[in-house]
Amino acid sequence: MKKIKIYLGSLSALLIAGCASAPAVPTGAELDKLTADIVRASFRDQGLVKVDRLVQDETNRACSAADVAGKPLDEATAKAIQQTNLKAIKWPSDGVFVGDYKEGEKIAQSGRGLTWTDDAAQASGGNCYNCHQIDKKEISHGTIGPSLVNYGKNRGIKDITNPNAKTKAMIEFTWGKIWNSKAYNACSNMPRAGHMGILTEAQVRHVVALLVDPKSPVNQ
């Protein structure tokens, strides 16, 4: 028994010595630098896709940190992020919020654009169907986001040519949500289509029409 105790004691000492001599695991700023170095070594500019696409702004950094921590942002931080993004929304330069729903449907159903094989002159799609059901006739659609079927009808939008105050406010909200979703939900999974340059102002106008125009297939 005495020999066993001596052996175990010696083994413990060796393990402790081994742990003491093992390289320290990087944390905090060191880990951030190591991650940045790996990204720089692993990615390169190609075609219209540039490495700077991986650079996070303050909003994405805060949401990523919350995701890693496994807990939502505190209320004060979430509100501050929403306010920052709300101020960043670019409203229509000509005051026109609603375009052509037929063009909007084409944009919503297109997932092309912003990949290294795409032509920079080609208009990007909204890829909306990848997360939402847009038309009740669709049998293949994403479920990450809520269904958009009857979006305008459910919100009482009956006339887009002469909207009342409630309708006007909802149309403006729809524009803002598409342009920069994080203005209304700090860590929304929805891409900031206008803010990040995925869609142009004209394209956002058409997608708004797809959602709010009573004649759109969304509202049939």
User: What residue ranges define each of the domains in the chain, with the CATH number in brackets?
Assistant: 101-219 (1.10.760.10)
pTM for this predicted structure: 0.82
pLDDT tens, per residue, the chain with 220 residues = 444 444 444 444 444 555 555 567 777 788 778 877 888 888 888 888 888 888 899 999 999 999 999 999 999 999 999 999 999 999 999 999 999 999 999 999 998 888 888 888 888 999 999 999 998 888 889 999 999 999 999 999 999 999 999 999 999 999 999 999 999 999 999 999 999 999 999 999 999 999 999 999 999 9
Work out the burial of residue 162: count CB atoms within 10 Å of its CB; fewer than 13 is exposed, 13-18 middle, 19 or more buried. Answer: exposed
